[in-house]
Every structure is written in C-alpha cells, then in structure tokens.
Amino acid sequence: QSALTQPRSVSGSPGQSLTISCIGTSSDVGGYNYVSWYQQHPGKAPKLMIYDVNKRPSGVPDRFSGSKSGNTASLTISGLQAEDEADYYCCSYAGRYTLWVFGGGTKLTVL
C-alpha cells in the first residue's frame, strides 16, 4: 500500500482537461511544498513533469500544471493529447526520516 493515494485510473477525450489527485497527510504533502509528478510510458523510465508543487521543468508543455490544497496535491492536464496516455505518479518529501513517498500511480487513458 502506497503512502500517497491516487485514483487507479482516469480517462478523457482529446482536447479535454482532467485532474489527477494525490492525497497525503500533514507529514508529507501537507507539510512541505516538495510535491513532484512523474510520467511513465510503458517500458520506459519515469520523467519529471512537475516539481515543487507547481513548477515545470524546461521542455514540459504548459498544458501540465500542478497545485496543492492542504494534504491534497493535483496534476491537471489541459488540451489532452494522445501522447499523454501514460502512468502518472505523485511524490512528496516526507521529512528527514521517511524522506520520499510515492503514490500508487494513475493510469491515464486518452479515449
């Protein structure tokens, strides 16, 4: 059982917007502004999409955005495209003893 809770799957049509939630606790998501999101296509390595809650690395489309409210972080993808179909994982720093915790992953399907 993962420390952070994500929906197992979400789906949307091309052009639509959707949001993936990531529920943690005050010891991780709620306690630090160090939430990150990773995209993983089948058989590939994960790729950083969002860091520090809402920042995008160079090269990541601005269709991807992140936010946080209390113990829940969210990844929003607008203008959904076929290549966005992948697994998405949230991650949070959780202090000096636990360090980093991940969510169980969300499979995004583009209909």
Partner 1 sequence: EVQLVESGGGLVQPGGSLRLSCAASGFTFRSTFSNYWVHWVRQAPGQGLVWVSRMDSDGRIISYADSVKDRFTISRDNAKNTLYLQMNSLRAEDTAIYYCVLSEIGHWYFDLWGRGTLVTVSS
7 interacts with partner 1 by CB under 8 A = no
Q: Which is nearer to partner 1, 45 or 82 (CB)?
A: 45
93 interacts with partner 1 by CB under 8 A = yes
89 interacts with partner 1 by CB under 8 A = yes
Give the whole-angstrom CA distance, residue 34 versus residue 24.
12
Sketch the per residue contact string, 45 through 84, with partner 1: x for CB under 8 A, - otherwise. xxxx--xx----x---------------------------
Task: Show the CA angle centred on residue 42, arms to residues 82 and 65, nearest 5°.
Answer: 50
| 49-57, Cβ contacts within 8 angstroms, sequence gap of 24 or more | 49/75, 49/88, 50/75
Q: Which is nearer to partner 1, 69 or 97 (CB)?
A: 97
Q: Return the exposure string of 28-66: e unless at least 16 CB atoms fall within 10 Å of the residue's CB, then b.
A: bbbebeebbbbbeeeeeebeebbbebeebeeebeeebbb
Candidates 17-25, 32-40, 66-74, 75-83; binding stretch for partner 1 (CB under 8 A): 32-40
Q: How far is the CB of 67 from partner 1 (least distance, A)?
A: 16
Figure out which of the listed residues 65, 66, 68, 103 binds partner 1, where binding follows CB under 8 A. 103
